[in-house]
Amino acid sequence: MNRNEEKIESFFALPLPSLNEAVLDISSRERLRLGQELHDSVSQLLSGVVFLVHTLENKLSARGLPEAADAAEIGHLVFQALTQTRNLARGLFPIELEADGLIEALTELAGTLEKLFGISCRVEADVDLVVSDQTVANHLFRLTQEAFNNSVKHGRATEVVVGLRRHTHGAELFVRDNGIGLPVQGTKSDGLGLRIMNYRARKIGGRLSVEPTEDGGTLVRCIFSGHLTERKTKNN
């Protein structure tokens, strides 16, 4: 079989001996803490400011004062800050995961990615598939974030698709992009990001593969088993 007929085989990110897994766990816990702080404290304070500014705007408007327009502008800016803070909090601590909502969290992550980078990003998932273990769901969410980061920063992708679907060995999470493909082996971009994803896959008993797509992009896959349930419907 010549080169033109060869199939492009998956390659697996090997664990980096110097990667301290304890450090990654500490980083995850700190990220969780910061996300909760942003949601529970900063977001609540900004919400209060928005309410007060809106009240002030109404009072100024009732008196026919021109400063009402200034108050409205301040309210608009604070609301923008509140929205960005909530997006940051959800990225650090995806609250939806507590309600067995990995797909919802991935959908929101995709929407945030579209707004931040101006690219196309969509989710293709079996909507009735639920990852019941929160730890597993969190590792899958973080793995997806890392894959997104590689797609946008290193792969220069303009279209990213993330999916969660059934597999013969359980379930499969995948992230596919139309970027410039895999980095040259041995470069820095070929190192830590892939190994972090591999670490997270191994933590949930899964297997990570990263491979080129037919159109030159990259496909990241994590196949895992267990921790799955069917989403209950109202008729059940």
The residue among 180 and 8 whose pLDDT is bigger is 180
pLDDT value, residue 138:
84
pTM for the predicted model, two decimal places: 0.64
Would you say 177 and 151 are in contact if contact means Cβ atoms under 8 Å apart? yes
Q: What is the pLDDT of residues 126-151, one digit of tens each?
A: 878 888 888 888 889 889 988 988 89
The residue among 174 and 109 whose pLDDT is bigger is 174
Mean pLDDT score, 12-40 = 59
pLDDT value, residue 5:
38
Any idea which of 24-38, 47-61, 218-232 has the lowest mean pLDDT? 24-38
Kindly write down the DSSP assignment for every residue of the chain, as one continuous string: --GGG-----B--PPPTT--HHHHHHHHHHHHHHHHHIIIIIHHHHHHHHHHHHHHHHHHHHTT-THHHHHHHHHHHHHHHHHHHHHHHHHHS-GGGGGT-HHHHHHHHHHHHHHHH--EEEEEE-TTEEE--HHHHHHHHHHHHHHHHIIIIIS--SEEEEEEEEETTEEEEEEEE-SS-PPPTTSGGGTHHHHHHHHHHHHTT-EEEEEE-TTS-EEEEEEE-SSEEEPPPTT-
Does position 24 have pLDDT exceeding 70, yes or no?
Answer: no
- Whole-angstrom CA distances from 89 to 41, 55, 97, 145, 187 are 11, 27, 13, 14, 32
Rounded to the nearest integer, the mean pLDDT of the chain is 78
